[in-house]
Amino acid sequence: MTDNVLHNSRFLKACRGEPVDATPIWLMRQAGRYMPEYQAVRGKSSFLELCKSPERSAQVTLDAQRILGVDAAILFADLLPILETVGLNLEYLEGEGPRLSPPVRTSADIHRLREEDPAQSMPFVYDAIRIIRRELPRDIPLIGFAGAPFTLAAYAIEGESSRNFIHTKTLMYNDPQGWHALLGMLARLVGKYLHAQIDAGVQAVQLFDSWVGTLSPEDYREYVLPHSYAVLQSVKGRVPVIHFGVGTSTLLPFMAAAGGDVLGLDWHTPIALTREKLKVRAVQGNLDPICLFADREVVRRKAMQVLDDAGETPGHIFNLGHGILPKTPVDNVKFLVDFVHESTRR
């Protein structure tokens, strides 16, 4: 149950499109390798071991929120461990990124996958949520998250990150029945996973469709929208849901139709114009994360541009247009958080 203090937090008010005392800010991937405290907690353990250790992943979440002074914490976890529960092997190779094996390429591969209830199969996530909620300041909401069906399917099919998504699109075009069976199953899993996170104590969730920008609007509508819709319908009304993707300028009308209370925007997308066109109640975004590598004056100027674009209309959550990258200067990140608060205080 969300108590009054949390309900009236800046972040949750902005999610509902209500006026706030200052623009709330949090940053995708706010906990990560750019932060020495993260490196210390991770130590010599693997990333996956860290994700499966509730005490240490809780610590990473709490450190990032406290050090940066952001208005929301995000669960420290990853998009991909849910794919282990369907029977894929997951590894993170240092400097190369995630690997899933064997990749799902045929309808026989699809039918071999198991469908376990993530409420049972991922206890470490809910344990982390309970620890974080106990330790987090009372007025700071905790955000849970999951990968959207398309982005999870793309990882399962490619077996790794991809530029052209050749295997993914080939399966989608050649075997639409298998495709819809796979995405339907992933949508059921993700819906249950988000419900279980909400039951464990998160105040909002974000659906990451990180790679969906590789699709045309027509393909999004035909192959993805029904499945994202199913996920978003299933959690609708429980907590605010942020629906996010990258490279989505032309997909946003369809993503908005799929659902979510807050639309996450990348830095290619103008805020005011998009809000006017799509009539969404709240948006999140959208500073280019690379700006944080530049001089402080640039950070200030670029952040101001985002705030000017967002204007006075309630319902803006400041964020980057995508996650913070390794080697981002921590001082610039702190500067950004303070700048957004100070320059928007009403």
Question: Comparing C-alpha atoms, which of 22, 31, 25, 21 is closest to residue 67?
Answer: 31
The answer to the question of residue 42 lying near ligand CP3 (CB under 6 A) is yes
Instruction: Write down the catalytic residue from 16, 66, 78, 296.
Output: 78
C-alpha–C-alpha distance, residues 16 and 322, integer Å: 22
Considering 155, 193, 220, 223, which one is annotated as catalytic? 155
Given CA atoms 218, 222, 228, 233 in this order, what sign does their dihedral have? positive
Site string for ligand CP3, 269-308 (x = CB under 6 A): ----------------------------------------
Catalytic annotation present for 346: no
Binding status of residue 16 toward ligand CP3 by CB under 6 A: no
- Residue from 22, 47, 91, 217 binding ligand CP3 (CB under 6 A): 47
Q: Does position 159 bind ligand CP3 by CB under 6 A? A: no
The CA-CA-CA angle for residues 298, 319, 153, to 5°, reads: 125
The H or E element containing residue 48 is helix 47-51
Nearer to ligand CP3, 118 or 178 (CB): 118
Whether 78 is catalytic: yes
Q: Mapped to the 3 state alphabet, what secondary structure does 258-286 carry?
A: HCCCEEECCCCCCHHHHHHHHCCCEEEEE
**345 an active-site residue?**
no
- Answer yes or no: 34 catalytic: no
29 noted as active-site residue: yes
Rounded Cα distance between 100 and 111, Å, is: 17
Q: For 21, what's the count of Cα atoms within 13 Å in the CB-facing half-sphere?
A: 4
Closest to ligand CP3 by CB, 92 vs 229, is: 92
Q: How far apart are CA 114 and CA 170, in angstroms?
A: 23
Distance CA 274, CA 43 (A): 43
Q: Contact region for ligand CP3 (CB under 6 A) — 1-9, 81-89, 90-98, 229-237?
A: 90-98
**Min CB(34)–ligand CP3 separation in Å:** 9
CB of residue 243 vs ligand CP3: minimum separation in angstroms? 13
Is 323 one of the binding residues for ligand CP3 (CB under 6 A)?
A: yes
Tell me, by CB under 6 A, how many residues bind ligand CP3: 22
Rounded distance between C-alpha atoms, residue 25 and residue 340, angstroms: 7
Q: How far is the CB of 227 from ligand CP3 (least distance, A)?
A: 17
Q: Of 121 and 151, which CB lies nearer to ligand CP3 in the complex structure?
A: 151
Letters for 105-144 (x = contact with ligand CP3 by CB under 6 A, - = none) are ----------------------------------------
C-alpha–C-alpha distance, residues 11 and 71, integer Å:
6
The three-class DSSP label of residue 92 is strand
Residues with Cβ within 8 Å of residue 244, at least 6 apart in sequence: 28, 206, 207, 208, 209, 210, 263, 264, 284
Residues that bind ligand CP3 in the complex, under the rule CB under 6 A: 28-33, 42, 47, 74, 76, 78-80, 92, 97-98, 145, 161, 208, 210, 322-323
Instruction: Please give the positions annotated as active site.
Output: 29, 33, 42, 78, 155
